[in-house]
Amino acid sequence: MSIPKFALDILVCPLCKTRVELLADESGLKCVSCRRVYPIRDDIPVMLPEEATIPEENPNP
Q: What share of the chain is helix, strand, coil (3-state, %, to 5)?
A: 15, 30, 55
Tell me the pLDDT of the chain averaged across its residues.
91
User: pTM here?
Assistant: 0.86
- Quickly state the pLDDT bin for 51 (edges 50, 70, 90): very high
Q: What is the pLDDT of residues 1-29, one digit of tens each?
A: 678 899 999 999 999 999 999 999 999 99
Domains of the chain: 5-51 (2.20.25)
Beta strands in the chain (DSSP E): 20-22, 28-31, 37-41, 44-45
